[in-house]
A and B are shown apart, each in its own frame.
Chain A
Amino acid sequence: MNIAMLLEMAAEGDPERVVLGPRAGGTTATELLDRSRRAALYIQKSGARTVGYFGLNSDALPVALFGAALAGVPFSPVNYRAPDEQLQGILARIEGGLMIADEDEVARLGACGASHVVTKGEFLAAVDELASDAAASGGAEFPFVDPEEIGVLLFTSGTTSEPKAAVLRHRHLVSYIISSVEFLGCGPDEAQLICVPPYHIAGIAAVLSSLYAGRRIMYLPAFDAAEWVRLAVDEHITHAMVVPTMLGRILDAAEAAGVTLSTLRHLSYGGGRMPTELVERTLRDMPHVDLVNAYGLTETSSTIAMLTPDEHREAFASDDPAVRGRLASVGRPLPSLEVEVRGEDDAVLGVGEKGEIWVRGEQVAGEYVGNSVLTEDGWFRTRDAGWFDAEGFLYVDGRLDDVIVRGSENLSPGEIEDVLMAHPAVAEAAVIGIPDAEWGEAVAAVVVLHPGAAADEDELQTWVRQRLRSTKMPAVIEFRPELPYSPTGKLLRRVLRDELSAGGPAQRRD
């Protein structure tokens, strides 16, 4: 039971189905399995103890992923945007690894300490040169891969600290797929456009779930909204997953190109807080598209809760604020999991009470290299703040580490950001804590206004004070043309904190 078994099943179930690449001339399930088996032989011969992947999305990714699984070594896609210093640290931790890289990254990898680097082109050429005995033998010479072995090693984004190496064992990934995806549940016309980077858990999960569902994978090497729209139209894309920063740009690009994305049926989003306004715009502009809000973490093998298409439509059509408000929720936990919100003494909290989100289930790994952080009875503390409503919908308020401690009061940035973004002039808002001589921390906001819109600090402060307690009113509001995001759509609060704190303690105005 390793992740390559999912590919073997796909090849068994519909051998000739095109599973990777363009509609015309793409790779069939049988061809992908054959290539992956040869990749496994290549990896075995290389003596690699880990297979790293360093570069943009490409058809080499699934081959390397399944090749590594068949050979019984971990696969580790590394963030190619990591600065040299961070990259050196990561490479030191995957010592003995074979790095499969974009050609223009080879020199940098070498300089940062990688000893064994091949380009994607060299890797695929070497794989294709191997005799196809491996394919003919049905993979009998590959080792038995225990489900306990490491399938994927992901360095988490580290928006607040150094990256940690999250361990996903084969059993976690396989459990996630077989419990949440219907085997070959898709028609042969379905196609998924993958635009999240390969080092993101959603990039890995998308390969596994698309393949198991029988949905053709089409890669967009690096995100570009106009290119996304072009591919979606040309390749009859039916499914995609996007992070918050991508969605608005896609809608704008579709509008600019004058296309309706008529083949698109299903769009899931996650990886960060999606402005409700943008969800509403998508529901309005593309009523033919099913929306799914997915909440998950690297440590949980991707999705643990989702707001379904029907729940989106029901909320959008409702005048009841509690139902309408669900557009900001991440929906209900997957049936195969348990999710609880717990307080500071670890006791389970009731409806509407805010605390930390805990999760338990077979897909939950909760482990970093050398260190499992699961409780004795298998619970993983997500470090995300959240709460359940009376109907069991989960709301995520952001990272606990981002909570602002002002005096003795804990303030959640998400709540203040939502109120700011509800102001008609505000497009984006980030709320952070900055050092304050009197209160320890003060609330600061960085705001991006809609093009052509106007609002000043006083107006927005009054707006917040009228809707929340006065202690939640930002002491300072800075206006900027844009907010800093990671490529996977995560707001880089640490960057804002550093920048706003650099000038010394904030000037309070209360």
Chain B
Amino acid sequence: MGIQLKAGLRLRSATDACEVVVVKAPAEPVDLRCGGHAFLPTDAEAAPQNIEAGFDGGTQLGKRYADDDLGLELLCTKPGEGAISVGETVLPVKGAKPLPASD
């Protein structure tokens, strides 16, 4: 069970206002969730779901969420209260030391 991802694909949370864009996608489908429920295509009609316990860490606008082993990277384009997970594993924020401006 999972969604076939593709770089550039935009998804919305079924539980909150969160939206993400896929930056890097693995070849295999991924069981990608927000707040414990599967992400939806942005145009999907679906009844809102409640955020499951343990998946309430929230998302932050402009942060990247990644699983390097899977080759998965998402960028949060709208924040929400639920946490992003692959199956039961919550994805960490991709930490990067900010660089000084160069352009």
Contacts and interface: CB of A to CB of B under 8 A. Distances in A.
Contacts of A50: none
Contacts of A212: 62
B56 to A, nearest CB: 21
Interface residues of A, number: 51
B7 A147 contact: yes
B32 interface: no
B72 interface: no
A353 interface: no
Interface residues of B, number: 21
A422 interface: no
B8 A309 contact: no
Contact of A303 (B10, B63, B97, B102): B102
A266 B100 contact: yes
Contacts of A306: 99-100, 102
10 smallest CB-CB distances across A and B, nearest first, come from A183-B62, A294-B102, A205-B103, A147-B8, A182-B98, A1-B8, A206-B103, A303-B102, A1-B21, A209-B103
A2 B10 CA distance: 11
A179 B4 CA distance: 24
A1 B9 CA distance: 7
A369 B1 CA distance: 40
Contacts of A5: 21, 77
A270 B102 contact: yes
Contacts of B7: 1, 147, 171
Nearest to A240: B101
A373 interface: no
Given A9-B77, A12-B61, A12-B77, A266 B96 contact: no
Given A12-B78, A147-B7, A292 B102 contact: yes
Nearest to A296: B102
A9 B62 contact: yes
Interface string A285-313: 00000101010100000110010110000
A202 B21 contact: no
A302 B102 contact: yes
Contacts of A336: 96
Interface string B5-47: 0011010000000000111000000000000000000000000
Contact of A8 (B77, B99, B103): B77
Given A1-B8, A1-B22, A335 B96 contact: yes
